[in-house]
A = this chain, B = another copy of it.
């Protein structure tokens, strides 16, 4: 046979599971989008169509929902760990499980004003509004021995309205760009960071606190860096995370440079003193890089932050 099978995986993608936990009248919510990818001894289903080693994707879906009941959802990472362990340890032909999860955040609707007296304000602990800022992400991979946990976020849109310059660059025959000494710097952060927890023997990180702290450091580094290039800002964001969070060894970013062009108002007799900008869609600069703890190996794939 002149062709052979290479890397392959399968499973149910985008299982939307919402878990409500009732603590008396106070409800808590976890809202996830879970994708399962399994691989192992799967040659035959490709070559002959024999499903003898295939746990149906429908079953992987059922497992997601059943586990939400059996284990609860403490965090996206912990939930993914339960699932990955299950598939690899319960099915002999499955040697590796990768669980990808998106998490959508909600906050409570405040009901403190006079109107609420009709039903008793204290009782309204079951109403939520979706935060709608970034989407939290995680990816859990388990091969029966070692864990790889890569968490992250996407669609976190940030802007500095000053403290950004761009000059001193290479000029060739196709260069027309004018140097900028005070520009807007805006981007939509897509990031992934890899934990150095790989083994059940190690103490597991506090996934919720870690996320909150990484996000905070990332935002603060963006805000506090006087930027000579988006690459420099990116590096500061990654270094700040690694320097402050010992549980993380590697961070990768994909940062579109969302251009805000100063509008030329001179034809109308007006001076645009860094006030009025056109927010462009395409094209955009795209700056991508990995920041590593010194001595650690890079393992986050190049395009993971572009999914």
Nearest-CB residue, chain B, relative to A106 = B159
Interface bits A286-307 vs B (CB < 8 Å: 1, else 0): 1111111110001001111011
Interface bits A87-116 vs B (CB < 8 Å: 1, else 0): 000110100000000000010011101011
- Residues on B with C-beta less than 8 A from A228 are 48-51
B109 touches A239 (CB 8 A): no
21 examples of A-B residue contacts, CB within 8 angstroms: A6-B291, A6-B298, A10-B285, A11-B286, A12-B284, A14-B284, A29-B159, A42-B231, A47-B232, A49-B229, A53-B170, A57-B257, A59-B170, A61-B283, A62-B267, A91-B172, A110-B219, A113-B220, A115-B217, A127-B222, A129-B158
- A210 contacts the other chain (CB 8 A): no
Contacts A8-B231, A52-B168, A126-B162 known; 5 new A-B pairs at CB < 8 A: A12-B286, A19-B275, A51-B170, A58-B177, A59-B175
Q: How far is the CA of A224 from the CA of B112 in the complex (A)?
A: 11
Nearest-CB residue, chain B, relative to A163 = B126
